[in-house]
Structure 1
Amino acid sequence: MSKNVLITGGTGFIGSHLTDLLLENGYSVSVLSRSNRQSNTQITYYQWDLKRNYIDEDAVLNADFIVHLAGEGIVEKRWTKKRKKSILDSRVKPIELILSVLTKHNKTLDSFISASGIGIYGAKTSHKICDEETLPANDFLGVTCQIWENAVDKIDALNIRTAKIRTGIVLAKDQGFMKKITPTFKSGFGAVLGTGKQYIPWIYVDDLCRIYLKAIEDEKINGPYNACITDNTTNTRLSRLLAELYGYNIWLPKIPPFFLKLLLGEMSVAVLKGQRVSSDKIQKTGFEFRFTDLEKTLINCVK
C-alpha cells in the first residue's frame, strides 16, 4: 500500500499544489478540513475544528507522514491584538491537537514536517545574510515563528523526525502574493514600496512543494531549512520587472513608508522590511532549485 500523507491546510494555495505532487509520486493524501467533504479514491477528508479543540483522530492514526501548512495569512488583516493571537493560534493549536493524538495512542510517524517562515529572522532590512543558525528576532514575526517551531520540537521529542521549512515569498500564477499585486501592476499602476531596498527572498511554488517532497523522502532532513532563492532580489527589482512584463516602466513615485504605516499599521513592516536569506543548507542535501531566474519565473506567473 502507498504511504499516506496527512496535510493540514491541504485545501489552501500551497496545500493543493503539494497534494497534486504527492499523488503524482504515488502517495495517498489525507486532508483536514473544517467542512464536510466527500472523500474520493485519491484524497480522504477528515474534519477538525480548532475552536472546539476537535480533531478526527483517525486522520492522525492513519497517517505515515504529516505536513503542517495550516495558518491564517500574515498580511490579510491589520495586526490588532486579536489578529495577532489568531495568527499564532492557527499555527500552534493544530500541532497541539496532533501531539495529543500521538501521545494518547502512542502513535509514531515516519516524519512530521511543518511550514515556518523567514520572518523568524525579523522584520528588518540589513546586508546580513541569515542562515538557519541566525538567532530569532524579538519582534512579532520572529516570536511567532519561534513559538511555532517550539511546538514542532514537542513532536520531535517523541523521537519522530521533524523538519521546519522556513518559507519566503511564494510565487505562483494568480495565487498568494501574485494574486495580491498582479491587478495593480496589470492596470499600469505598479509602484515601488517604501525605499525599495528591502529584500524579497522568493521561491516558486513548484520548488517549494519539491522541498516538502524531499523532506518526506530524505531521512537525513531534520530541523530548520530556509526555502527561498538567494539572489538579493529587492522590492525595486521585482516591481520594475513586473511592470516591464506588462509593457511599461514604473511612472508613479515610490509609495512613502508613512503612508503604508498609516494604511496598514504595524503590519506595514511585512512589506517595508526584508532580509537576505541563505538557501545553502537545503542545497547541500542535494536539492536543486528549478526556478532561479526571477524574470523567467515572473513570466511563468503572468503568462
Structure 2
Amino acid sequence: MGQTLLITGATGLVGKALVKQCLADGYTVHYLTTRKSKMESQTNYKGFYWNPQEDTIDVACFEGVEVILNLAGSSIAQRWSNANKASILSSRTEALALLHSSIETHKFTVKHIISASAIGIYPDSKTRYYDEKFQGTDASFLRSVVKSWEGSLKPFQSLDVKTTALRIGIVLDTHEGALPKIMGPIKNYFGAALGSGDQWQSWIHIDDLVRLFMFVLESKLEGVYNAVAPNPVQQTELTKLIAKILQRPLVLPNVPEFALQLMLGEMRAIALESQRVCAAKIQEAGFKFNYLELEPALEDLIA
C-alpha cells in the first residue's frame, strides 16, 4: 500500500479526477466530507466527517498522512448574495484553519499541504500578462477571497509544513464546470461571445490540472504556481473554437454587459473579467503540459 494522502473537496470537479488518479498511482486516499452519506470505507479509500463551520473534524483522518491536497470551498458560480459571498469566503478559510489547528493540537506529522487557489487574485486587465511575482491587488470580491484563502496557508509554515498554492484558471471538463455551460447555447444555435469578447481567459484541461497536482506532490514543490495552460485565449476565440468543433454557426451578436448584469448580478465578473496568466514558472520546474493549445484540448473533451 502506498503513501496516504488526505484530500478535502474530493467530491468536486477537480477532487473526483484527482482521487481517481491518486488511487491509480497506488496512493491510499483519506477524504473529508461534510455529508455523512458520502462516506465510504474501502482498503485504500476512506471517508471521514468534518464540518469546518462548527469546528468539527474526525482526527482519525490524519492517520499516516504526510501530504494534504486541499480543494475545499463552495462554488463561486452561484449568485453573489451577501450570504453566498460569506459562504464562498468562509468555506475556504475555515477549512484551512481547522486543518491547521488539528495538526498543531495533535502534533500530526504532516509535511506538505498543496492547496487550490485561483487566478482571480489578478486584477481585471486586457493588457497585463500576470506571473506569480505580481503583488498588486484591488478591493474586488474575488481578489479579497483569494488573498484570504492564500493567507490562510501561511500559519502552516510555523508548523514546518511546506505550503503550495496552485492558482487555477478555467478548468475545462466534458461534464462539469464552464465548458458544458458554454456548449449548451452553442449546440442549440444560441451561442454568442460574452461582453466585448476581447477579455483574456486562462484555461487548463482537467487532465493537465490533475497531472500538475501530482507533479507538485511528487516533486515536493512549494510556493505559488499558476495552474493554467501556456496559451490563454480571448473569449471570442474560445466561443468560435467550440462552435467550430460542434459544427454550429455563431449568428447572434455578443451578449451585452448589461444583459449579463441583469442575469448574473455581481457574479458577471466571472464571465467578463480578463486575466492573461503565465504558465512559465511551473514549466521551468519541469512540468510538461499535454494540452498547450486550446483547439486540441477542446477536441479531446468535446469529441
Bin for the TM-score computed over the shorter chain: over 0.9
Note if contact 1:117-1:145 (Cα within 8 Å) is conserved in structure 2.
yes
Note if contact 2:93-2:149 (Cα within 8 Å) is conserved in structure 1.
yes
Residues 236-279 of structure 1: CA distance to partner in whole angstroms, max 9, x if unpaired?
00001111112122100100011111221111111111111011
User: Once the 2 structures are TM-superposed, how far is the Cα of residue 136 of structure 1 from its aligned partner?
Assistant: 4.5
Alignment-derived partner of residue 237 in structure 1: 237
Aligned counterparts of 2:127 and 2:178: Cα–Cα separation in 1: 24
Aligned counterparts of 2:228 and 2:23: Cα–Cα separation in 1: 24
| Secondary structure of the structure 1 residue equivalent to 2:290 | coil
Note if contact 1:171-1:177 (Cα within 8 Å) is conserved in structure 2.
yes
Note if contact 1:33-1:48 (Cα within 8 Å) is conserved in structure 2.
yes
Name the % identity.
Answer: 35
Letter in 2 for 1:54: T
| Secondary structure of the structure 2 residue equivalent to 1:2 | coil
TM-score (normalised: structure 1): 0.96
Note if contact 2:9-2:33 (Cα within 8 Å) is conserved in structure 1.
yes
Note if contact 2:203-2:232 (Cα within 8 Å) is conserved in structure 1.
no
Aligned counterparts of 1:199 and 1:280: Cα–Cα separation in 2: 17
Q: What are the within-5 Å matches in structure 2 for residues 94-243 of structure 1?
A: 94-122=95-123, 124-138=124-138, 139-219=140-220, 221-243=221-243
TM-score (normalised: structure 2): 0.96
Alignment-derived partner of residue 297 in structure 2: 297
Note if contact 2:34-2:49 (Cα within 8 Å) is conserved in structure 1.
yes
Aligned counterparts of 2:81 and 2:131: Cα–Cα separation in 1: 30
C-alpha spacing 1:103/1:111, structure 2 compared with 1 (3 Å): same
User: Once the 2 structures are TM-superposed, how far is the Cα of residue 182 of structure 1 from its aligned partner?
Assistant: 2.0
User: Once the 2 structures are TM-superposed, how far is the Cα of residue 61 of structure 1 from its aligned partner?
Assistant: 3.8
User: Once the 2 structures are TM-superposed, how far is the Cα of residue 110 of structure 1 from its aligned partner?
Assistant: 2.6
| Secondary structure of the structure 2 residue equivalent to 1:129 | coil
Residues 148-206 of structure 1: CA distance to partner in whole angstroms, max 9, x if unpaired?
00101111221111100000000011111123222212112111000000111000011
Residues 71-92 of structure 1: CA distance to partner in whole angstroms, max 9, x if unpaired?
11112x2212211110011111
Alignment-derived partner of residue 68 in structure 2: 66
| Secondary structure of the structure 2 residue equivalent to 1:277 | coil
Note if contact 1:9-1:32 (Cα within 8 Å) is conserved in structure 2.
yes
Note if contact 1:136-1:143 (Cα within 8 Å) is conserved in structure 2.
no
Residues 190-242 of structure 1: CA distance to partner in whole angstroms, max 9, x if unpaired?
110000001110000111111111111112x1111001023230110000111
Note if contact 1:136-1:146 (Cα within 8 Å) is conserved in structure 2.
no
User: Once the 2 structures are TM-superposed, how far is the Cα of residue 302 of structure 1 from its aligned partner?
Assistant: 1.4
| Secondary structure of the structure 1 residue equivalent to 2:152 | helix
Note if contact 2:65-2:109 (Cα within 8 Å) is conserved in structure 1.
no
Letter in 1 for 2:125: T
Note if contact 2:70-2:114 (Cα within 8 Å) is conserved in structure 1.
yes
User: Once the 2 structures are TM-superposed, how far is the Cα of residue 52 of structure 1 from its aligned partner?
Assistant: 2.1
Aligned counterparts of 1:168 and 1:245: Cα–Cα separation in 2: 22
Q: What are the within-5 Å matches in structure 2 for residues 255-266 of structure 1?
A: 255-266=255-266
Note if contact 1:11-1:31 (Cα within 8 Å) is conserved in structure 2.
no
Alignment-derived partner of residue 49 in structure 2: 47
Aligned counterparts of 2:103 and 2:25: Cα–Cα separation in 1: 26
Residues 35-58 of structure 1: CA distance to partner in whole angstroms, max 9, x if unpaired?
232311231110112332211111
User: Once the 2 structures are TM-superposed, how far is the Cα of residue 13 of structure 1 from its aligned partner?
Assistant: 1.1
User: Once the 2 structures are TM-superposed, how far is the Cα of residue 70 of structure 1 from its aligned partner?
Assistant: 1.1
Aligned counterparts of 1:118 and 1:197: Cα–Cα separation in 2: 18
Aligned counterparts of 2:173 and 2:83: Cα–Cα separation in 1: 30
Aligned counterparts of 1:218 and 1:126: Cα–Cα separation in 2: 34
Alignment-derived partner of residue 56 in structure 1: 58
User: Once the 2 structures are TM-superposed, how far is the Cα of residue 286 of structure 1 from its aligned partner?
Assistant: 0.4
Runs of 4+ in structure 1 off by over 4 angstroms are none
Aligned counterparts of 1:71 and 1:43: Cα–Cα separation in 2: 21
Mark the runs of 5 or more structure 2 residues left unpaired by the alignment.
none
C-alpha RMSD over aligned residues: 1.2
C-alpha spacing 1:115/1:170, structure 2 compared with 1 (3 Å): same
